[in-house]
Amino acid sequence: MKTINALIVYFLTGIVAFSQGQPTSDPLAYPQQIVKQLCSPAMEGRGYVRSGCQKAARFLKQEFQTMGLMEYRGVSTQPFKLSVNTFPKACKLRFGWKNKKPGIDFIVNPSSGGYAGHLKVLSLSAQEILQYPFGKSKNRGYILSFVPRLGISADTLKMVRLKLEKLARIELPVLEFTREKLTWSVSSETFKYPYVQCILSTNDACPKQIHLKVDAVYKENITVENVFGYIPSKNPSDSLIILCAHYDHLGRMGRKTYFPGGNDNASGVGMLLSVAKKLKRTPLEKYNVLCIAFAGEEIGLVGSQAFLESPLLDRSKVSMVLNMDIMGSGEEGITVVNGSVYTGLFDRLVKINQTYGLLKAIKPRGKAANSDHFVFSNAGIPALFIYTMGENKNYHDVKDTYDALSFSAFNALETLVLTFLKSF
Ligand SMILES: [Zn+2]
């Protein structure tokens, strides 16, 4: 039913002109194929173990070439360097006769150091942790454990976590039990000891001893790439619209566990490529479009920052940046970050949505440093960031798979983006 509605919307809005010559009648076929490929184990979670990020870059470069996009200023990629903490091999936690499942039962803090062996558990309260002194070498052979009491305040928990990080950085291994969803990340920092977050299960008595094996490898100055595809305007112009989505994700946490990054942000790359394909057939009248698949977003917007600072970019020529991240749901519509900053651009989106009846809601949001748009708007370049709102809550976890994506607003959102671009 959702697909039928989406198809009707797609044809009624006149955007059918974009799809001339499309080999398939299913508008989702191409973006879904891209998203599925990016989420596959072969891409290793598009991180920094087994060259996942580099494999994804190669795939995207090939896709841009196949659809006939041009190089930008003589290059198809922009290499840059970053340093990252990785977990290429063992990532094991065992207590109570059972191996815990990585990614499901536990995660290691992305800055964790390595460890192999048994550890005695020293369970402390929030107060005891906050007062725990540094330099207490008598606790060698222990892992400091924290079980939050029910109803602990968010502020206290935040303070405890900060202290646990400081302890793992220099003092001793740390094990935090939690009732919250496990949310992983990626870091360019490295602690001396592991910091493990484990789901608090009702079956578990607080262990007296655990076995931990974490292989942490810090990789310095590895090279990753932003990938470009350029679509010149119909009429000669030196004005540029940047359409971007980051393709990197979190990669692997141990041998058996990878984070597919379906919603974040294979879905946005699928949207970028699908829109690019249509713009290639029907370019904008007066604006060149530069499609960028950014790397290094998850580690702190490093790819977009590298592009902003490079001589590849003439800031004065950029009219707008449209960043797409988390495009895979949309049952509740979309949020537009910077929508309440660039109200003219936001109102234009809303008007198109009202005219064509595309999405359930378009909500404005203020500034937020939560994706690549921020680098541009922070430098004074108008930039919006669109993300979908809906049922998919698999943020930065192993469940963010291709199969978990509904694509329920994908066609309508693509129509919105294309119509928005055509309005310039
Ligand atoms: Zn993202």
pLDDT, one tens digit per residue, over 30-75 is: 999 999 999 999 999 999 999 999 999 999 999 999 999 999 999 9
Least confident residue range of 16-20, 305-309, 341-345, 410-414: 16-20
32 and 124 fall within a common domain: no
Which residues lie below 8 Å from residue 323, measured CB to CB, with a gap of 6+?
244, 245, 371, 372, 373, 383, 384, 385, 386
Confidence of residue 163 (pLDDT cuts 50, 70, 90): very high
pLDDT at residue number 315: 96
What spacing in Å lies between the alpha carbon of 171 and ligand 1's midpoint? 32
Q: Give the confidence band of 376 by pLDDT, cuts at 50, 70, 90.
A: very high
CA–centroid distance, 304 to ligand 1, in Å, is: 12
Q: How many domains does the chain have?
A: 2
Two structure tokens written together for 307: 């592009």
Average pLDDT over residues 264-280: 98
Say what the pLDDT of residue 311 is.
97
Cα–Cα distance for residue pair 233/235, rounded to 1 Å = 5
Give the pLDDT mean for 94-116: 94
The answer, yes or no, to whether residue 7 has pLDDT greater than 90, is no
Q: What is the DSSP letter of 209?
A: E
pLDDT greater at residue 111 or residue 19: 111
* Distance separating the N- and C-terminal Cα atoms of the chain: 33
- Give yes or no: residues 227 and 367 share one domain: yes
pLDDT band at residue 204 under the 50/70/90 scheme: low
What is the CATH classification number for the domain harbouring 235?
A: 3.40.630.10
Eight-class DSSP state of 25: S
pLDDT tens-digit series, residues 240-258:
999 999 999 999 999 999 9
The residue among 302 and 135 whose pLDDT is bigger is 302
Do residues 163 and 137 share a domain?
A: yes
The pLDDT score that the predictor gives to residue 24 is 55
CA within 13 Å, CB half, 344: 6
Ligand 1 midpoint to CA 421 (Å):
22
State the distance from the centre of ligand 1 to the C-alpha of 393, rounded, in angstroms. Answer: 13
CA 246 / ligand 1 centre spacing (Å): 6
CA 249 to ligand 1 centroid distance, Å: 7
70-93 tens-digit pLDDT: 999 999 999 999 999 999 999 999
Q: What is the Å distance from ligand 1's center to 297 Cα?
A: 7
Looking at the structure, tell me whether residues 206 and 256 fall in a common domain: no
Structure tokens at 176: 């935090």
**Separation of CA 40 and ligand 1 centre (Å):** 17
d(CA 137, CA 171): 8
What rounded mean pLDDT belongs to the chain? 93
36 shares a domain with 103: no
Are 101 and 54 within one domain?
no
Predicted pLDDT at 25: 81
Q: Which has the minimum average pLDDT: 11-15, 21-25, 79-83?
A: 11-15
DSSP state of 139: G
What was the pLDDT predicted at 9?
Answer: 43
| Contact of 217 with 86, CB cutoff 8 Å | yes
- Say what the pLDDT of residue 156 is: 97
Does one domain contain both 226 and 77? yes
* Residue finishing a domain among 189, 214, 239: 214
Do strands 288-294 and 383-389 pair parallel, antiparallel, or not at all (unpaired)? unpaired
198 CA from centroid of ligand 1 (Å): 24
Ligand 1 center to residue 154 CA distance, Å? 25
Could you tell me if 225 and 154 lie in one domain? no
Q: What residues are paired with 362 via a beta bridge?
A: 334
Structural tokens at position 222? 């590895």
What does the pLDDT average to over 258-281?
A: 98
What is the residue whose two structure tokens read 């003219």?
Answer: 344
Give me ligand 1 centre to Cα 96, in Å: 36
Q: Is the peptide bond before 265 cis (omega within 30 degrees of 0)?
A: yes
- 353 CA from centroid of ligand 1 (Å): 24
Given 197, 214, 231, the domain boundary residue is 214
Residue 375's domain spans which residues?
A: 2-85+219-422
Ligand 1 centroid to residue 52 C-alpha, Å = 16
What's the CA-to-centroid distance between 324 and ligand 1, angstroms? 9
Cα-only R_g, the chain = 23
66 C-alpha vs ligand 1 centroid, how far in Å?
25
263 Cα–ligand 1 center, Å? 8
Asked whether residue 8 carries a pLDDT value surpassing 70, the answer given is no
Residues above pLDDT 90, as percent of the chain: 89
- Distances in Å between the alpha carbon of 398 and those of 37, 206, 339? 16, 25, 31
Q: How far is the CA of 73 from the centre of ligand 1 (A)?
A: 27
CA of 374 to the centre of ligand 1 (A): 12
Q: Report residue 201's pLDDT band, with 50, 70 and 90 as the boundaries.
A: confident
| 314 CB-near residues (< 8 Å, 6+ apart) | 240
Distance 420 CA to ligand 1 centre (A): 22
What CATH number corresponds to the domain at position 112? Answer: 3.50.30.30
Specify the pLDDT at position 401: 98
What separation in Å is there between the alpha carbon of 402 and the centre of ligand 1? 15
Q: Quote the ligand 1 centre to 71 CA distance (angstroms).
A: 25
Could you tell me the distance, in angstroms and rounded to a whole number, from the CA of residue 197 to the centre of ligand 1?
22
Which residues have beta carbons under 5 A from ligand 1 (an ion)? Answer: 264-265, 325
Q: Does 399 have pLDDT greater than 70?
A: yes
